[in-house]
């Protein structure tokens, strides 16, 4: 499954191998939007910056997003207002506005195309109307001119909708390419194929990676959920995976950016076709907590069926999937990790609204690392150590606990002696030890089923042919290599017999 973005504009950055004894002022780990923006801002400000990436630039969430940079964000504003003061809500809106403005300015100056669009949140049944109204009220309290307007132009019935004009959509890998060019032109160095495995914080920070070791004065973990994190921030983030597709559709398409407030979630937007001839429709939805859905294949097919139902003649050209992290306290986690004496920083927890939040995180980290004055919104939003979400965190941790017990002690004890059918994976046991066996493209692999992060038992993701951990969202290939999440080492291979 390759996204429309990575298929139409792959990023062919080569990077530089790590050399022995390498050192930087700041090492940014992770080359998604957070990492590339932060690295570019820091390099621009005169720091010696190294950007480490385990896979490819944009390979994880940013290359698989739907790239709406909008301040109308589903039901997020009312969710934040329920837990926080009006001042915090306004700071969140200001942060996102600052992120959106910076991004629009950058794209315009660097000739990267983007489109201004009206953002809509709509309800498909009457029950959603109250939530829409709550969201409109919270958005207005945050200073956004959100209005009720049911004339969405969508081809299916909606019970009601709210809208915010003049939002932004773009092609995320084109944007990453331009940001990366900015980074390297300011002297930044990109290292690909370097997975951070461990950090040691002393007078400086020692980073141990799969591509070699290096030293830095400060480190930014822009890895989605934080890796090598003794602060346990992964425990207050819920990993949420969802699906997306691109389709060629005959005739005119609705030109807004849309998100349903009710379930199943549907996210829609258009993007210019690469042929330059008309638009392509993008549809997203059918999300779930990572590793906790047995029907991933069905969710992909269901999105196809829904698209063909409401957009007759649609031909699906690309299907993909990605995950982002929902923070327990409702606000992104951006700032210094408490145990690191101002040396290690994180930026995560965007709740699927990273296009504006990642840029805001970069701006905030620039101010924090420079020791200069923060923008007003940054001081109000607080730091990564915010504990106001602990009651919700307890709920997240409760779900994790149930999954941990289910993985180790639940389910049937299956034999792993026979190879599973093509495209299938099963978890069986050797003694007490869970073993994960799969067959992909005729190759049967047996690996430990115990996640190398903190011991969750992985489950098979049929749609993506991967092993996914239901505890904190680590994912591994069929033969055990880390794809994403907080794990930093592969699942070891085991004998099947």
Ligand X SMILES: Cc1cc2nc3c(=O)[nH]c(=O)nc-3n(C[C@H](O)[C@H](O)[C@H](O)COP(=O)(O)OP(=O)(O)OC[C@H]3O[C@@H](n4cnc5c(N)ncnc54)[C@H](O)[C@@H]3O)c2cc1C
Q: Which residues bind ligand X (CB under 6 A)?
A: 29-35, 52-55, 59-62, 65-69, 195-196, 222-224, 227, 242, 244, 284, 322-324, 350, 352-356, 358, 488
Which of 474, 482, 488, 491 is in the footprint of ligand FES by CB under 6 A?
474
Query: Based on CB atoms, which residue is closest to ligand FES, 15 or 473?
Result: 473
Distance (Å, whole) CA 470 – CA 391:
21
Q: Which residues of 120-154 are buried (b: 16+ CB within 10 A; e: fewer)?
A: bbbbbeeebbebbebbbebbeebebebeeeeebeb
| Per-residue CA distances from 70 to 43, 120, 257, 349 (Å) | 27, 10, 9, 16
Output 137 or 454, the one with its CB closest to ligand FES.
Answer: 454
Closest separation in Å from C-beta 487 to ligand FES: 6
Q: CB 35 → ligand X: shortest distance, Å?
A: 5
Backbone angles phi and psi of 60, in degrees to 5: -105, -110
Does 471 help bind ligand FES (rule: CB under 6 A)? yes
CA distance 120 to 255: 11
Considering the complex, what minimum distance in angstroms separates the CB of residue 173 from ligand X?
11
Distance CA 50, CA 21 (A): 13
Stretch that binds ligand FES, among 56-64, 156-164, 186-194, 484-492 (CB under 6 A): 484-492
Nearer to ligand FES, 172 or 239 (CB): 239
Q: Give the span between the Cα atoms of 398 and 98, in whole angstroms.
A: 36
Give the span between the Cα atoms of 467 and 482, in whole angstroms: 9
Q: Are 73 and 97 in contact (CB under 8 A)?
A: no
Find the shortest distance in angstroms from Cβ 298 to ligand X.
17
If one counts every other C-beta atom within 10 angstroms of the C-beta of residue 197, the result is 16
Residue 323: CB minimum distance to ligand FES, A: 12
Residue whose structure tokens are 């039901």: 75
**Span from 96-104, 144-152, 433-441, 482-490 in contact with ligand FES (CB under 6 A):** 482-490
Place of tokens 């390759």: 2
Q: Which of residues 422-461 bind ligand FES (CB under 6 A)?
A: 451, 453-456
Q: Which two tokens stand for residue 91?
A: 């700071």
At closest approach, how far in Å is the CB of 194 from ligand X? Answer: 6
- Calculate the alpha carbon distances from 94 to 133, 144, 377, 378 in Å: 21, 10, 6, 9
Count of residues near ligand FES by CB under 6 A: 13
Q: Shortest Cβ distance from residue 101 to ligand X (Å)?
A: 14
Select the binding partner of residue 456 from ligand FES, ligand X, none (C-beta < 5 to 8 A, by kind). ligand FES
State how far the Cα of 53 lies from the Cα of 445, in Å rounded to an integer.
27
CA–CA distance, 193 with 16 (Å, rounded to integer): 10
In the complex with ligand FES, which residue's Cβ is closer, 289 or 358? 289
Least Å distance, CB 398 to ligand FES, is: 15
**Nearer CB in complex with ligand FES: 316/404:** 404
* Nearer to ligand FES among residue 320 and residue 325 (C-beta): 325
Partner from ligand X, ligand FES, none binding residue 296, C-beta < 5-8 Å depending on class? none
60 binds, options ligand FES, ligand X, none, Cβ within 5 to 8 A by partner type: ligand X
492 lies in the binding site for ligand FES (CB under 6 A)? no
Q: Is 393 in the site for ligand FES (CB under 6 A)?
A: no
Is 148 or 230 the residue whose CB approaches ligand FES more closely? 230
Query: Which residue among 192, 220, 487, 494 contacts ligand FES (CB under 6 A)?
Result: 487
Nearer to ligand X, 171 or 427 (CB): 171
Give phi and psi for 361, each to the nearest 5.
Answer: -60, -45
Give first-to-last CA distance, the chain, whole Å: 32
Any contact of residue 3 with ligand FES (CB under 6 A)? no
By CB under 6 A, tell whether 103 contacts ligand FES. no
- Residue 201: exposed, middle, or buried by beta-carbon count in 10 A (0-12, 13-18, 19+)? middle
Contact 360, 376 (CB under 8 A): no
In the complex, the residues that contact ligand FES under the rule CB under 6 A are 451, 453-456, 469, 471-474, 485-487
């Amino acid at each position: 499954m390759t996204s429309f973005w990575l298929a139409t504009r792959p990023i062919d950055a080569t990077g530089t191998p790590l050399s022995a004894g390498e050192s930087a002022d700041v090492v940014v780990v992770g080359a998604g939007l957070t990492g590339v923006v932060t690295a570019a801002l820091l390099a621009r400000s005169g720091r010696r910056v190294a950007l480490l990436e385990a896979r490819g630039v944009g390979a994880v969430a940013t290359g698989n997003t739907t790239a709406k940079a909008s301040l109308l964000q589903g039901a997020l504003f009312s969710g934040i207002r329920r837990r926080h003061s009006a001042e915090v809500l306004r700071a969140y809106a200001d942060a996102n506005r600052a992120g959106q403005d910076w991004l629009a300015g950058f794209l315009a100056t660097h000739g990267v195309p983007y489109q201004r669009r009206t953002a809509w949140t709509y309800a498909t049944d009457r029950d959603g109307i109250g939530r829409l109204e709550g969201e409109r009220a919270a958005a207005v309290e945050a200073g956004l001119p959100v209005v009720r307007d049911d004339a969405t132009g969508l081809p299916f019935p909606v019970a009601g909708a709210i809208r915010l004009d003049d939002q932004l959509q773009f092609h995320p890998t084109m944007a990453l390419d331009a940001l990366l060019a900015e980074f390297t032109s300011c002297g930044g160095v990109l290292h690909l194929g370097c997975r951070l495995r461990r950090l040691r914080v002393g007078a400086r920070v020692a980073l141990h990676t799969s591509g070699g070791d290096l030293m830095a004065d400060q480190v930014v973990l822009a890895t989605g959920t934080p890796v090598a994190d003794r602060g346990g921030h992964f425990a207050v983030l819920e990993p949420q995976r969802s699906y997306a597709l691109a389709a060629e559709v005959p005739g005119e398409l609705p030109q807004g950016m849309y998100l349903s407030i009710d379930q199943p979630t549907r996210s829609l937007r258009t993007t210019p076709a690469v042929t330059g001839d008309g638009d392509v429709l993008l549809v997203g939805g059918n999300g779930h907590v990572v590793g906790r859905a047995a029907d991933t294949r069905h969710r992909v097919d269901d999105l196809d069926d829904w698209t063909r139902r409401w957009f007759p003649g649609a031909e699906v050209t690309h299907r993909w999937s990605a995950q982002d992290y929902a923070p327990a306290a409702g606000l992104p986690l951006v700032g210094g990790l408490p145990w690191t004496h101002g040396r290690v920083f994180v930026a995560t927890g965007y709740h699927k609204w990273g296009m504006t939040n990642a840029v805001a995180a970069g701006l905030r980290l620039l101010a924090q690392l420079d020791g200069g004055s923060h923008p007003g919104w940054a001081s109000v939003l607080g730091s990564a150590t915010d504990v106001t979400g602990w009651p919700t965190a307890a709920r997240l941790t409760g779900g994790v606990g149930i999954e941990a017990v289910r993985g180790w002690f639940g389910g049937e004890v299956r034999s792993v002696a026979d190879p599973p059918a093509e495209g299938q994976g099963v978890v069986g046991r050797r003694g007490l030890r869970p073993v994960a066996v799969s067959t992909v493209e005729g190759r049967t692999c047996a690996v430990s089923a115990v996640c190398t992060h903190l011991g969750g038992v992985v489950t098979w993701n049929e749609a993506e042919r991967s092993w996914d951990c239901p505890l904190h969202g680590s994912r591994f290939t069929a033969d055990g290599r880390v794809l994403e999440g907080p794990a930093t080492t592969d699942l070891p291979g085991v004998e099947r017999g």
